[in-house]
Amino acid sequence: MEISQFQTISIMLGALVGVVLALTGAGGAIIAIPLLVFGLHLGLLQAAPIGLLAVMLAAGMAALMGLRAGIVRYKAASLMACCGLLTAPLGVWLAHAASNLGLTIIFSAVLIYVAITMFMKAQNAILYGPAECMDSNQPCRVNQQIGKFSWNAPCARAMVLSGAVAGFFSGLLGVGGGFVIVPALRKFTNLDMKFIVATSLAAITLVSGESVLVYAAKGAIEWHLALPFVMGGLLGMMAGQVVAKKLAGPRIQQAFATVAFLIAIGLLIKALA
């Protein structure tokens, strides 16, 4: 493959990941890996740190925009990220200890679960509306008078557990952890979706950053492959932010879930074959 052609494909794949991340606040990294596997013919262990690097930078850019707009719950994001920082190195260690086939099977199973869960939740939102889909007994609720969470022990436990799980999968599979954080924030808080997406992106930035550092320390990042993909991710994130208000919603989530499910099946078939 010509170098210029390779770089063009890498930039296009990265841009797609950035757009998905902007629209959903989750899922960018989890589709980055199969895109790199199919589009650039990389192994899962090669693809993981490249996907993480792209998602870290794209999510970081969007998180800064969210901070300026005042829609990031930075205390919740920081708590989740700190817990993720503790579990991410364990995930990276297991990733290097496991076989490529084993990692691919685990990754495909996680992606299938994420796709089905996202599709069903979006369907419920379409049928019953977002308000009816929310639990009135969430442990983390915003005090409308001060515009901040009323923190308590159940709320803290929910954030700690969510961050720890997200960090582990970030290190193990090279994903940002948004597929854990976004559903957790929807389940445990009464935040509007724009706050959930912005807070998720802030946590993803911090969690992904540590995993990238661990991979880099191990010499596991192929920078000549990563840089074009990262460039595409940043461009895609900027484009996605422009159209997010018009396109984001349950139907977009269902479309992403369907594509993610098909990608997971294809990845599993490719690995087993």
At 245 the pLDDT is 65
At 74 the pLDDT is 86
Share of the chain above pLDDT 70, in %: 90
At 263 the pLDDT is 83
Q: Band the pLDDT of 159: cuts 50, 70, 90.
A: very high
Angle among Cα 192, 254, 76 to the nearest 5 degrees reads 30
At 46 the pLDDT is 84
How confident is the model over 221-254, as pLDDT tens digits?
Answer: 888 888 898 888 888 888 877 776 666 567 777 8
Residue with the bigger pLDDT between 61 and 159: it is 159
How confident is the model over 178-224, as pLDDT tens digits?
Answer: 778 888 888 888 888 788 888 888 888 888 887 888 888 888 888 88
At 130 the pLDDT is 56
Average pLDDT for 85-108? 85
Decide if pLDDT at 164 tops 90.
yes
Average pLDDT for 132-136? 50
Average pLDDT for 111-128? 82
Number of residues that this document lists for the chain: 273
Average pLDDT for 267-271? 82
Decide if pLDDT at 131 tops 60.
no
Domain that holds residue 225: 3-272
The 3-state secondary structure of the chain reads CCHHHHHHHHHHHHHHHHHHHHHHCCCHHHHHHHHHHHHHCCCHHHHHHHHHHHHHHHHHHHHHHHHHHCCCCHHHHHHHHHHHHHHHHHHHHHHHHCCHHHHHHHHHHHHHHHHHHHHHHHHHHHHHCCCCCCCCCCCECEECCCCEECCCHHHHHHHHHHHHHHHHHHHHHCCCCHHHHHHHHHHHECCCHHHHHHHHHHHHHHHHHHHHHHHHHCCCCCHHHHHHHHHHHHHHHHHHHHHHHHHCCHHHHHHHHHHHHHHHHHHHHHHHC
Decide if pLDDT at 68 tops 80.
yes
Residue 130 burial (CB count, 10 A):
14
At 161 the pLDDT is 93
Indicate the number of domains in the chain.
1
Least confident of 61-65, 96-100, 128-132: 128-132
At 177 the pLDDT is 75
At 26 the pLDDT is 58
Average pLDDT for 44-55? 83
How far is residue 204 from each of residues 130, 135, 157, measured CA to CA in Å?
Answer: 24, 24, 19
Residue 242 burial (CB count, 10 A):
10
Mean pLDDT taken over the chain: 81
Average pLDDT for 121-129? 77
Torsional sign, CA 182, 185, 186, 187: positive
Tell if the pTM clears 0.85, that is, is over it: no
How far is residue 188 from each of residues 95, 106, 266, measured CA to CA in Å?
Answer: 30, 26, 33
Residue with the bigger pLDDT between 245 and 123: it is 123
